[in-house]
Amino acid sequence: MKRNRKVKIVATLGPASSTYEMIRQLHEAGADVFRLNMSHGTHEEIAERHRAIRQVEKDLDSPIAILADLQGPKLRVGEFANKSEELEWGEPFRLDLDKTPGDHTRVCLPHPEIFQALEPGSSLLVNDGKIRLRVEDCGPDHANCVVVTGGTISNRKGVNVPDVVLPVAALSEKDRKDLEFVSALGVDWLALSFVQRPEDVTEARELCGGRAAILSKIEKPAAVRAFDEILAVSDGIMVARGDLGVELPVQNVPPIQKRLVRKCRAAAKPVIVATQMLESMIESPMPTRAEVSDVSGAIYEGADAIMLSAESAAGQYPVEAVTTMNNVAQEVEGDPTYTEIIEASRTASAKRSSVADGIVAAAREIAETTDIKAICCFTSTGTTAQLVARERPRVPIIAMTSHRGAARRLSLLWGTYCVMTGELERFKQAVVNAARAARSAGFATEEDQIVVTAGVPFNISGTTNILRVAPCDERLIYRTDPE
């Protein structure tokens, strides 16, 4: 489905958006990727949502990416005798392994791995950072703390440990079962939570066995510190600002976001900016001005995609939320300042060392200095399309592939319109197919020209070696192109 924008929209499915009719409305309103949140819903419910997405894809003949987001390990305190307690600033408070119901002086923290990693001076955050504790002394089964920020602590509230790398696997037993389930189901992207080190990603990739691309969620300070190594072993990145904003001072999150987006662009790997983008639209048909500015900021940075969470999963206005994102994106990308910012930040740090790098850089340069309507690239795995998207060209990118899985994955990629094509043997036929696709999608007419990139021999990954400026009139192609 042709979009009048280049940034992609990810919409999370949930109770408010699980039917075929609603999923189709969301896609037609602008959702390019659907997120299945494995923290909510049974396997039967997830499978039904997956089935509905694929039916919409078939009915509209529009490749759609499905992103399954694993829950990750959840660290929580135990229960209180009175269900909740008030913690006051300066008071002592103890965390231990004793399962006796807690009171105003202590509570169970049933995670010995946390005690193994703590040191005096470490911080513990409870209930999304509303309560902050500082460790005074600790051992293998306890941590004696002082309350730095007080508040109400209650049963099973989540715990964050921002200062240390925890000896906790990114994949819980639930995650392993979910990973196998969604991989067998046929999702395109697998989002990995609680990433702290590159080994977390490597483990998930081995379990996945190539059935889905791996997207690492950056939501912990340890992941920010090890970002270059994590990026190197990931297929894509999600900047999950919710937990980042809990574990880091909130003022640190915007520069981190900008830095990570730049690095992803330089590496030619897609990046999603997520969390609380249009939060008020869970209950309101209109966003706040601050939210619109936040969404705009991610688009100006050149992020591949922006994501809706509860807004589309459980909110009262899921279609309106997608429509708002679509409208904001169109307005921002129509701003001349957008082009200036994107081009000023164009991957100066990108390492161009291959023939394919040179081909796609030349394609962008030609498209921007002559009257070219689109760049058409033939790709088997999606790598060539990612290299073209890294250039952030002004014209649309038409990614042509004979692999349905590649077309679906590329639905997440900035500026990319995906088209299925048959197996090819001759470059002339590739050019003809590209011209037809450009005309059919409304990017060009018979009087226009396009740039075509491909690799010969066809259907071999990493062989991009041809660039052709071609007319969109098939008669001219057959008249001028050699066999």
Check pLDDT > 50 for residue 140: yes
Check pLDDT > 70 for residue 212: yes
Check pLDDT > 70 for residue 350: no
pLDDT tens digits, one per residue of 78-126: 999 999 999 999 999 999 999 999 999 999 999 999 999 999 999 999 9
* Percent of the chain topping pLDDT 90: 87
Complete DSSP assignment for 128-152: TTTEEEEEEEEETTEEEEEEEE-EE
Residues 273, 218 contacting (CB under 8 angstroms): no
pLDDT tens digits, one per residue of 12-47: 999 999 999 999 999 999 999 999 999 999 999 999
Residues 9, 306 contacting (CB under 8 angstroms): yes
- The pair of structure tokens assigned to 453 is 């990139």
- The pair of structure tokens assigned to 266 is 């330089």
- The pair of structure tokens assigned to 248 is 């880091």
Check pLDDT > 50 for residue 298: yes
Is 5 a residue of the active site?
no
Task: Output the pTM of the full model.
Answer: 0.94
Check pLDDT > 90 for residue 477: no
Q: How far is CA 252 from CA 225, 244, 245, 256, 288, in A?
A: 13, 9, 8, 6, 22
- Mean pLDDT of all residues in 175-190: 98
Check pLDDT > 80 for residue 186: yes
Residues 80, 101 contacting (CB under 8 angstroms): yes
Q: How confident is the model at residue 174 (pLDDT cuts 50, 70, 90)?
A: very high
Lowest pLDDT segment from 86-90, 186-190, 352-356, 382-386: 352-356
pLDDT tens digits, one per residue of 412-421: 999 999 999 8
Catalytically annotated residue among 54, 76, 404, 428: 76
Quote the mean pLDDT of the chain.
Answer: 94
Q: Which residues pair with 214 in a beta bridge?
A: 190
Extended strands (E) in 194-318? 213-218, 236-240, 271-274, 305-308
Residues 8, 305 contacting (CB under 8 angstroms): yes
Dist. CA 476–CA 82, nearest whole Å: 81
Extended strands (E) in 92-139? 92-96, 106-108, 123-126, 131-139
- Mean pLDDT of all residues in 338-353: 78
Check pLDDT > 70 for residue 194: yes
pLDDT tens digits, one per residue of 366-393: 999 999 999 999 998 899 999 999 999 9
pLDDT tens digits, one per residue of 318-344: 999 999 999 999 999 999 999 999 999
Q: How confident is the model at residue 482 (pLDDT cuts 50, 70, 90)?
A: low
Helix, strand, or coil (residue 456): coil
What does the pLDDT read at residue 6?
97
Q: How confident is the model at residue 349 (pLDDT cuts 50, 70, 90)?
A: very low
Is 275 a residue of the active site?
yes
Catalytically annotated residue among 6, 35, 205, 409: 35
* Residue that has been written with the tokens 């040191």 in this structure: 119
Complete DSSP assignment for 154-209: ETT-BEE--SS--S--S--HHHHHHHHHHHHHT-SEEEE-S--SHHHHHHHHHHHT
Check pLDDT > 70 for residue 347: no
Smallest Cα–Cα separation from 275: which of 302, 305, 230?
Answer: 305
Residues 298, 272 contacting (CB under 8 angstroms): no
Extended strands (E) in 251-304? 271-274
Dist. CA 236–CA 244, nearest whole Å: 18
Greater confidence (354 vs 194) lies with 194
Q: How confident is the model at residue 354 (pLDDT cuts 50, 70, 90)?
A: confident
CB < 8 Å & 24+ apart, contacts of 326-334: 326/3, 326/5, 326/9, 326/29, 326/30, 328/292, 328/295, 328/296, 328/299, 329/5, 329/6, 329/7, 329/9, 329/295, 329/299, 330/4, 330/5, 332/296, 332/299, 332/300, 333/5, 333/6, 333/7, 333/299
Domain annotation for the chain: domains and CATH numbers: 8-72+170-330 (3.20.20.60), 84-160 (2.40.33.10), 355-480 (3.40.1380.20)
Catalytically annotated residue among 12, 275, 324, 401: 275
Check pLDDT > 90 for residue 425: no
Which phi and psi angles does 92 have, rounded to 5°? Answer: -75, 150
Is 35 a residue of the active site?
yes
Check pLDDT > 60 for residue 218: yes
- The pair of structure tokens assigned to 326 is 């679509």
Q: Residues 12, 16, 19, 20: is their CA dihedral positive or negative?
A: negative
Check pLDDT > 90 for residue 130: yes
What does the pLDDT read at residue 308?
98
Q: How confident is the model at residue 427 (pLDDT cuts 50, 70, 90)?
A: confident
Greater confidence (346 vs 7) lies with 7
